[in-house]
Structure 1
Amino acid sequence: MKALLPLLLALPLSSARAPLATRGAPEPKYPVAAIPAALREGAHAVLRADDEVVTVKSAGRLVQTVHRVVTVLDAGGDAFGRIRVDYDALNAIGYLRGAVYDADGRLLHQLRAAEIHDQGVGDAGGSLMTDVRVRYADLRQPQAPYTVEFDYEVVSDNTLFYPSWQPQDEEGLAVQSATLRVSTPSALPLRYQERQWPAGAPAQHTTAGGQEQYAWALAGCPALDEEDDAPPLADTAPAVALAPGAFEVQGHAGSAATWQALGQWNYELNAGRAVLPPALVAKVAELIKDAPDPRVRVARLYGLLQGSTRYISVQLGLGGWQTFPASAVAANGYGDCKALSNYAMALLATAGVPAYVALVGAGSGHADLRADFPSSQFNHAILCVPLAKAGRPDTLWLECTSQTEALGYMGGFTGNRHALLLTPQGGKVVATPRYRCADNRRERRIDLYLDAQGAATATARTLRTGQEQDLYAQLLHELSPADQKAYVAERLRLATFTLNKFALAATAGPGLPGVVETLALALPGYAPPSGKRVFLTPNLLSRLPALPAQVGPRQAPLWLPRASLQADTVRLHLPAGFQPETLPAPVQLATAYGTYSARYQTLPDGTVQYVRRLELPRLRLPAAAYAGYVDFRRKISAADRAQVVLLKTDA
């Protein structure tokens, strides 16, 4: 859904321009020598100009023009030599032009109409109904440096979305000059939010002739590096977000001034579309006739949904926000995220269980909802089922597009964030499930058998739950067993091994979903004897690497977006004639970044047991905290590599 499901083919947005040169010998433009040396340092490309103008014509129309000039300094910046502009039934491209210049600013080539390609847009899975098309052009040159200049205009009849502006949106891109200007009728006041904005660069605001004019400018911004364990650049580089107060989409007027109003528009747009055919109503009644417990009813109907529908994205005009009727999903067996959520809501209503569609920004890399700036920040729809347990709220959340997801589980795709609940009273910002350390567990038990020559075999059973199992659940449902085995084998950090047995299986029962992985390994030469002694590291599969030291001052906050708990038990079975001579000292670390412990002991049967536990919470700390985190990781890495010393006792 347009606005509710992002395109998976997102390349850098760009295009268009008015004529760039006259006949004859045009004057040089944008020579590389004119770029200040400080902006070239550490940069793959320099944004020479990014001049964007947004003109709000009415509650239902706006025009965006962009003039963008980028100097590509080396091959690492070549992506900026291309341009892409999406369009659809509600967004028309007025023009798209471009030119490319050499290092001295001499015109090399002006983009011809025949070089602008136009094609439809499909998604990675091929399940897409869309009117979205793309125009794109490629002005990359075989040798850098060179400069590309693009201009484009988009006329939009979809004012639910105003363009947002973040000139420095890529690593290695410096900004020489960038401006944003917005013009809007005084009757349609602009709503905006400055994010990560530099002090001393306020917006310029003037009023004249019934129009409000706003202007922002950035200049002289050195290239940014995406530092380790840092928020994405979208959360650290300067940006201005724009949003409407009043808007209109294909005759449907609404307001985004408050969450309540924006939710009301979405709710009313889809009202009356949750009616099921009589035959399906009867089927639901039969399915739940012996299930008075609402949670059991939800579970059965969620199973019905998963077993009888499939996901298909719909991005056709207003269909980006207005759902297929539930009757259409019942007849066809497919729908997009909002249609399947609406259909599930209709099933539950028939069973006497109220539920509400919720809009959410989905994806592990999607920023959480900015609750202080009401606007359409969503790309997905899910279903919220408010229940009660022992007199207390016990809300269930349903991912209605998945045929395999466990009941109530949101995971890294839609968990740990906020959503907009669509109710008859309007929109309400609510929290989706939070997954903490105890939820995101990885518990591993290894039995390691060593022979007198230093070869070893090992069996490992690993249980992953919550977000720790997300990837493995995907492998389990989407890959063949052979491909699962190959994927895991390629990622085992072992010098020499043979993976003799491998299996993945989903856990059964209530609670968070889990996946159990079982391995059988042959490890030739794992711990060869050195005289009478053998030196070996019991931590076979869970070693956490140290982090590189920070080069220069840290700029970004420390950001650890996912909590986790790792618990490892390794039992080392010794060959005859060997006994432990030295066991590593226990390690206990308790810091603001998490806790870690490791301990060793000899058991009564002569085996050596190693127990490790690492707990990492979700964190966002100031940049100054990064040095302490590096030290924490260094100590963990050293402890994970600690060795047991075995002594051969029979001469």
Structure 2
Amino acid sequence: MAFLLKRICRAALAALSLLAGSPVLAGQPPKYLVADIPGSLRENAHAVVRFSDETLLVKSAGRTIETVRRAVTIFDEAGAHHAQELVYYDQLNTVSYLRGSAYAADGRLLRTLKASEIGDISLSDGFSLANDGRGRVADLRQPVYPYTVEFEYEVNSTNTLFYSTWRPQAREQLAVEQATFRVLTPAELPLRYLERGLPAGTAVARTSVSAVLQSYEWQVRNLAAVEAEPDGPPVGETTPVVFTAPTQFEVQGHVGTLTSWQALGLWNYQLNVGRDELPVAVQEKIRALVQGETDERARIRKVYEWLQANTRYISVQLGIGGWQTFPASSVAASGYGDCKALTNYCQALLKTAGITGYCALVRANEEDVRTEFPSQQFNHVVLCVPLQKSAKRDTVWLECTSQTNPFGYMSSFTGNRHALLITPQGGRVVRTPQYLAADNRRERLADVYLDAQGSATATVRTRRSGLEQDGYAGMANSQNLADQKKALAEHLPLANFSISKLSYAQDRRSLVPTLTENLGLTLPGWASVSGKRAFLTPNLLSRWSALPAAVGERRTAIWLDNPFSYSDTVRIHVPAGFKPESLPTPVQLSTTFGTYSSQVQALPDGTLLYVRRLLMPRTRFPQTDYPAYQDFRRRISSADKAQVVLVKTDA
């Protein structure tokens, strides 16, 4: 979809390298003296926003003008990306101008961008069939720190589905001296906005500019730089932000209102209604495919797996094509489509099979949408299929862009979040499947064969399910064993090892998929041998580290990724002539955050049995819990590093 280009813009900017080289320009009054920056804003900052002024002028329901002027002082290489600017445009957005200047620490003008130095690049993502996104790019990086850059640009837009989001401090280690954001809009098009994380005492200033024009303005000053905290939310989730949205909008002649989720869903439905007609030949194939199958879920599975086998994903990001789907007949003819087109196609296939499904907008691979603020926050489409014959009124969710996704599985990409169901009556917010600790499991069984010199070999079987297997599923689908070994090696917490064997087996038939990994390891010097004794850590692959000590008072809440359940069993086959001299004390922890246990036993045959369990059923905790969470992690880390001491017998 069109708004996925934001991610592409960031990647293109990172690759930009138009090096500065103009001589110093004399005769200009000094600006942005570094000496004027308060010491409180320099602390822990790679850069300081000296001045930022952003204005969104709403000309009509179908046109806006955004103007931005920003000056940033950059202290070191880690802040140098602030000296680059990329302004996105396409057939719905045009760049009126992009200007820039660079200043020395003493405020002297070093250089001004020439028109010939402003690049114009394609923002094609490499897989889009149609992508009209482009960027105007400029680079004012300087060789001597500190320095200040100033950029100004203006964008005219005929895509009023999106209004500006103001993030004056979107990055960590960025301080803000002064930043202002205003929206000027006709009185008949009142602004909708949501404030979050604004400093105490900050409030919108709402005034009448004229008889027909209203002004909404926010301003912040002297924001000290902040850092992302361990196991905390991204900085952009905790620093000041103002989200804005229209009450009415128009995109290429398609008019809508955005006062509720129902209204946004209705616009999306009307934009795509009637685009689900299938060729007769395809209808006949689907009817034959499900003929005689009476189980509703089984019928859906057959259609979905047929879709996976007969289509592929290609993105389309071209004007209204960012929101309006290809007709189902087009996908039937070509075999490809973007997320909208493939979801619409699957919906049409199911309709032929006598099953009703609904497209659902979702924000994939990012933080969940703000359900309290109806607005266009989505970047993906999936299919929601309520089961009509199920006694539990169950629902099947389908990811229609993947040829490998298990039936009904949303993964971390779209699971555990809200979606906007698109129905003939409009939009309705629903939840995608939630994957809890009982779903996200990792169960590991290892046999380690130790020799008298301290080296070992190991066979390890790891069974992962739910979100725990997501990061390994792509690896498992690779046909290149060397690539699989290389990718896995990056995840193994071992200092000296080689992989002697690796294979994967997937179970995609259950609602929560599982992946079994069979691994062989060679471990030179796994145990440390000194005289008659050998020292080893029985926790082979599941060691947790302690958290760094907090600097000052914790600022943010604790945000853990996903709930999970881990179990590890390690059987250590001790070499002849050795016996355990010292075993770690068993550990049992039960806390608000979860439970942990570990113990080592000596079995009658001389084998050592190490068993570890860790259950973390929740993911969000208040910042006041951080000291207790630190202690929980510290105690786990200590237990995970506990050693066994073997001693050589005289016999």
Per the shorter chain, which TM-score range?
over 0.9
Which residue is 1:141 aligned to? Answer: 142
Amino acid across the alignment from 1:334? Y
Shift of 1:12: 9.2
**Partner deviation per Cα, 1:453-507 (whole Å, 9 max, x = no partner):** 3221111011111111111101122462211111212432222222211122323
Amino acid across the alignment from 1:51? D
Which residue is 1:487 aligned to? Answer: 487
Which residue is 1:377 aligned to? Answer: 377
Which residue is 1:167 aligned to? Answer: 168
Tell me the TM-score normalised to structure 1 length.
0.96
1:528/1:187 CA distance change after superposition, 3 Å: closer
Which residue is 1:116 aligned to? Answer: 118
Which residue is 2:331 aligned to? Answer: 329
Q: 1:329, 1:339 within 8 Å by CA — same for their partners in 2? A: yes
Tell me the TM-score normalised to structure 2 length.
0.96
Which residue is 2:76 aligned to? Answer: 74
Which residue is 2:218 aligned to? Answer: 216
Equivalent position SS for 1:467: helix
CA RMSD after TM alignment: 1.8
Q: 2:265, 2:426 within 8 Å by CA — same for their partners in 1? A: yes
Shift of 1:24: 7.3
Amino acid across the alignment from 2:136? R
Shift of 1:604: 3.6
> For structure 1, which segment, 91-100 or 611-620, has the greater mean C-alpha deviation from structure 2 after superposition?
611-620
Which residue is 1:303 aligned to? Answer: 305
Which residue is 2:292 aligned to? Answer: 290
Which residue is 1:396 aligned to? Answer: 396
Which residue is 2:21 aligned to? Answer: none
User: 1:324 & 1:5 partners in 2: Cα distance?
Assistant: 19
Shift of 1:593: 1.4
Shift of 1:401: 0.7
**Partner deviation per Cα, 1:247-306 (whole Å, 9 max, x = no partner):** 111111111100000000001100000111000000001111121111111111111111
Within-5 A mapping of 1:345-494: 345-363=347-365, 366-387=366-387, 390-478=390-478, 480-494=480-494
Shift of 1:374: 0.3
1:528/1:62 CA distance change after superposition, 3 Å: closer
- Structure 1 residue 539 and structure 2 residue 542: aligned? no
Q: 1:5, 1:313 within 8 Å by CA — same for their partners in 2? A: no
Which residue is 2:22 aligned to? Answer: none
- Structure 1 residue 205 and structure 2 residue 206: aligned? yes
Which residue is 1:236 aligned to? Answer: 238
**Partner deviation per Cα, 1:363-417 (whole Å, 9 max, x = no partner):** 1xx1211111000000011111111575112111111111101111111100110
Which residue is 1:590 aligned to? Answer: 590
Amino acid across the alignment from 2:292? D
1:279/1:417 CA distance change after superposition, 3 Å: same
> For structure 1, which segment, 546-555 or 346-355, has the greater mean C-alpha deviation from structure 2 after superposition?
546-555
Shift of 1:218: 0.5
Equivalent position SS for 2:8: coil
Within-5 A mapping of 1:5-24: 6-10=6-10
Shift of 1:535: 2.2
User: 1:622 & 1:537 partners in 2: Cα distance?
Assistant: 34
Q: 1:561, 1:618 within 8 Å by CA — same for their partners in 2? A: no
Q: 2:408, 2:511 within 8 Å by CA — same for their partners in 1? A: no
Which residue is 1:627 aligned to? Answer: 627
Q: 1:4, 1:320 within 8 Å by CA — same for their partners in 2? A: no
User: 1:201 & 1:454 partners in 2: Cα distance?
Assistant: 64
**Partner deviation per Cα, 1:118-151 (whole Å, 9 max, x = no partner):** 121111x433411111110101001111111110
- Structure 1 residue 191 and structure 2 residue 211: aligned? no
User: 1:607 & 1:576 partners in 2: Cα distance?
Assistant: 11
> For structure 1, which segment, 331-340 or 520-529, has the greater mean C-alpha deviation from structure 2 after superposition?
520-529
User: 2:479 & 2:562 partners in 1: Cα distance?
Assistant: 25
Unaligned runs of 5+ in 2: 17-24
Amino acid across the alignment from 1:395? T
Shift of 1:648: 2.7
User: 1:206 & 1:523 partners in 2: Cα distance?
Assistant: 71
User: 1:269 & 1:493 partners in 2: Cα distance?
Assistant: 51
Amino acid across the alignment from 2:61? A
Unaligned runs of 5+ in 1: 16-22
Shift of 1:540: 0.8
**Partner deviation per Cα, 1:422-455 (whole Å, 9 max, x = no partner):** 0011000000111111111111000011122322
User: 2:368 & 2:498 partners in 1: Cα distance?
Assistant: 43
Shift of 1:4: 6.1
User: 2:344 & 2:426 partners in 1: Cα distance?
Assistant: 16
* Aligned residues between the structures: 641
User: 2:177 & 2:300 partners in 1: Cα distance?
Assistant: 56
Which residue is 1:100 aligned to? Answer: 102
Q: 2:407, 2:508 within 8 Å by CA — same for their partners in 1? A: no
Shift of 1:234: 2.1
User: 1:564 & 1:418 partners in 2: Cα distance?
Assistant: 21
> For structure 1, which segment, 403-412 or 203-212, has the greater mean C-alpha deviation from structure 2 after superposition?
203-212
